[in-house]
Structure 1
Amino acid sequence: MTEATNILPASYEPVEPQLVAQMMFFTVLVEACSMTKASEVMNISTSTGSRWLSDLESELNVSLYRRNDKVNRITEAGEHLYNTFKHISSDMQILKNELTQFTQEKRGTVRICSSPVYAENVILPLISEFVRENPMVNIQMTISPRGLEQHKDNDFIISAIAGSAIAKEEALNLVRRNLLSERFVVVASPEFIRYNSEPLVPEDLTELRCLYSKSLSGKNHWVFKKGNEAQIITVNKTIELSDAKMITTGVLNGAGVAYLPEFLVKKYIRSGQLIELLTEYETDDWFLNLYYPPQRFMTSTVSAFKEHLLSNHREKLKVFE
């Protein structure tokens, strides 16, 4: 039997695990632009993160991060480390995710940011079902109408957008799946109509108090179509609210006219609590989308939750009927 050949160079020294963790922290720090935020991502204290950075610079004997320079924080050596190690870090994460496929037990954390309109009535029931079947899984859920701004901190983003604003979506390295498509309807309470004139053409809305949310339809612009003509009405007398759920409550209480996805208000129209207005006009479309990273960046637990959500979310929509 021949003697095994040593393929490692004579000067080879194994990299200490702590050094790898420190380099990973540094890549997170560059992307987060905040010591506090990077420490949160790595699940360590800010003081530990600061010490890791100091230890890394001491070990490498170079300056990587200018703590007192808010404009040019990253040194040339820091740029080189980041540009090189971010690919290693990504490959490590992909490998870690792939290895989770070899275990049947689902464990770990699923991080979700959901639009308020969907969170309470759809996502929370789905979460309850999932953790009942997978007791070792933890869930972190954030409610926000601007979830795409937090895409780096979450496994799933559930975000609404008007059809006229889709082209303005930020280019993200995320998969997009449509969960729901609805038309907008114009509604007001009978009480509001009783004390104000009913709008007969879209232009009449400029004289009425209107409820709107930037997260729902972009700006205070409402789209109307008739025949081959389309017009955008800018509502002037407004009450601006943070999300569609609050607008629904406001319009039911007679606060003004609203431009809402039909599924949110059709039961109130049917019961007479709201009146649909300007029915001879077509309106813009509203889309609720699910965003998530490509499969190779998912653990088996995150992938399992995705399948659970996509398979069951439509059943939960019956609560709005």
Structure 2
Amino acid sequence: GYTPLRNRPGLLVETHMLKDYRSRVRGTYDLLRHSLEEVNRDPQRLIQAVRLADEQTVNDGRAYNPAQRYPLRFESTDKSVPFQLKAFESHTELSDVSGAVRVIFGTKPLDITVPLYDDLKITASASTPLYYIIPPQWRDVIEVLKAHGLKLQRLSAPATLEVESYRFSDAKWAAAPFEGRLLATYKTELVRETRTYPAGSVLVPMAQPAARVALYLLEPDAPDSFVAWGFFNPIFEEKEYAEDYVMEKVAREMMAKDEKLRREFEQRVANDAKFAGSASERLRFFYMRSPYWDRQVNLYPVGRITTTLKEKVLDMKD
């Protein structure tokens, strides 16, 4: 949820549609009033908890610790505990409209014991860098970070930096838009490389209370990351291509110069029937390994900086 990312407690109120409107409004009112009464009994306790959580988040961003990782994704295990569900009696009947079985709810209360799967395991996590760095052309991303209240800085001059980042593979998109965006799924591979970022590139210092928001938006493995929501879809587009008749010649030249490459190709043909039967994939094998392949395709433009930066490149505030 969003509120834990901001180091704040949150309460999601949901009143059931089967209740009448008056009951739903009154139930929501009573819950909010009771919550305020509870907080008012010892307000300093909540204030102190929030202050300590903010301080811990800021401290985590001051020194890079690769062993300290924060969960990004979870999934339920098969462990469960009994849970008493306050339900109503119901029965089923075959619908003459849909042709499916429909549930008919009654008005008599019924307690049902059901399994509650409350045990989770972490399936993706990330360490907190000292900074994230974003090229200035990704303005939509930068504006969303500003809207969340994150404090940003800009490079005052071009800077060549050692960064961690990600390379993507197996990218796929939803068949239809959701909330106006085409959501993406993909696999990630951590890469470490030297990059030159232009002046005006945005730095996100992680020694700030809202750092967890930046982590979950900028780490691609988070379910609600910018990449997952399609903000970075252009990085997956291939702008260049090679004509088949050109690659036929180039492929032969590459194999003549590189025996290891030739063996890799021949093994792929022998062991992968789908690959062997596709002329385009066989030529693409060489194109992707040639000097003409665009190395920026499938490469995340955002960098993770894990070392301290010189102040002279950080004198511009955003």
The TM-score normalised by the length of structure 1 is: 0.26
Higher helix share: 1
Which of the pair is proportionally richer in strand?
A: 2
Using structure 2 for the length normalisation, give the TM-score.
Answer: 0.26
